[in-house]
Amino acid sequence: MIPPIPRPTIYDVAARAGVSKSLVSLVLRGSANVSPSRRRAVDAAIEELGYRPSRAASSLAGSRSRTIGVVIDDFGNPWFVDLLRGLRSVLDPEEFHVTVADLQLDAVSGRNPVDGFLAMHAEGLVLAAEPEPAMLERLTIPTVVAGSRECIPSGADIVATDDVLGARMALQHLFALGHRSIGHLTGRSGAARLRLAGYRESMSEAGLPALVTGELGGTTEGAGYAAAGELLDDHPGVTAIFAANDTMALGALAALRERGREVPRQVSVAGYDNTAIAAASYLNLTSVDNHSDDIGVDAARALLARIGDPEREPRHILRKPSLVTRSSTTKPPP
């Protein structure tokens, strides 16, 4: 368990391979100007000694940490997994290290994840959460905001899917099925606000009244349950419910069952995010897919571009979502 010998350093490798430490460094960084024989010798020495370069030393000496920080909202809400996958598909080949911090968990101990990334000299930041504006002070590294957020640090790139459009797509689908009395469950978040806007626009264009609940609540399953309950009590006539996300939709299902309303025969339900929840065959929820993996890819590219050229004008990429139709939505009862 204890390292019998202290960790080998680049000097140990050099000695073993019979070369200079600089040559080892060259091999480590994959320089082209190393003779094959030396390279083999160094590789062998590395292998034999079980040498691993020290990140701390290389980032200190090279003034490049090759680290990208990702701030997400809550590990418990797995929408970020696809985002991460997308980010890494671009960043891994470039030998960047992606580290993730969760705003919720950090908040418990009063930590500031942005500070943490700054302390580790992260070369770039992906904001996939709604951070406190105070956290963004002195944010001097390339930053890209992923997803729709309330508070955008100046100079940051933005990569998001069009949540207004996504909501409109869901509504379009419900209209096409024949629904006219459609309620919406919202909550306090940047994304929810835009989805609400899309809902309002669609309803108003169709000449229908907006039926919205949950404006003051969160976007959790419990909040969805509460908001749906309120909606159903105030407007018993709704034939469809569009929720700001899948978890809220799950909550709505409970509220509906409690009131003896069958889904989708009596009431259709649509969610947002196309998470595993929506895809589970037991639930099989119609949901708007915001293609987080693509967002991740674009965000990573934007970051790389900005790291390469800090003077680059911030860009704003808005992707199109798509609707995944499943069995939770159907025609309204006659």
Partner DNA sequence: TGGATTTTTTGGAGCGCTCCATAAATACGC
Partner DNA sequence: GCGTATTTATGGAGCGCTCCAAAAAATCCA
Give residues in contact with DNA (CB under 7 A). 6-7, 9-11, 19-23, 25-26, 28-29, 32-35, 37-38, 51-54, 57-58, 60-64
Q: In angstroms, rounded to a whole number, what is the distance separating the alpha carbons of residues 161 and 31?
A: 40
Contact present, 276 and 292 (Cβ < 8 Å): no
Report the nearest approach of DNA to the CB of residue 56 (Å). 7
Among all chains, which residue has been given the structure tokens 């100007």?
A: 33
Report the nearest approach of a copy of itself to the CB of residue 55 (Å). 5
Report the nearest approach of DNA to the CB of residue 52 (Å). 7
174 binds, among DNA, a copy of itself, none (CB under 5 to 8 A by kind): none
Omega before 264 within 30 of 0, i.e. cis: yes
Q: With binding defined as CB under 8 A, does residue 281 bind a copy of itself?
A: yes
Contact present, 304 and 239 (Cβ < 8 Å): no
Stretch that binds a copy of itself, among 178-186, 211-219, 237-245, 250-258 (CB under 8 A): 250-258
Q: With binding defined as CB under 8 A, does residue 230 bind a copy of itself?
A: no
Q: In angstroms, rounded to a whole number, what is the distance separating the alpha carbons of residues 107 and 68?
A: 20
| Helix axis angle, 246-258 to 221-234, nearest 10° | 50
Cα–Cα distance list, 307 to 50, 80, 251, 302 (Å): 33, 23, 42, 9
Among 9, 34, 53, 152, indicate the residue that binds a copy of itself (CB under 8 A): 53
- Contact track, a copy of itself, 93-112, x by CB under 8 A: x---x-xx-x--x--xx-x-
Residue 117 makes CB contacts below 8 A (sequence gap 6+) with 67, 69, 71, 99, 101, 125, 141
Q: With binding defined as CB under 8 A, does residue 280 bind a copy of itself?
A: yes
Q: In angstroms, rounded to a whole number, what is the distance separating the alpha carbons of residues 25 and 42?
A: 10
What is the contact surface with a copy of itself in residues (CB under 8 A)? 1-3, 50, 52-57, 59-60, 65, 75-78, 80-81, 84-85, 88-89, 92-93, 97, 99-100, 102, 105, 108-109, 111, 115-116, 118-121, 138, 140, 142-143, 155, 221-222, 225, 250-251, 253-254, 257, 276-277, 280-282, 284, 306, 310-311
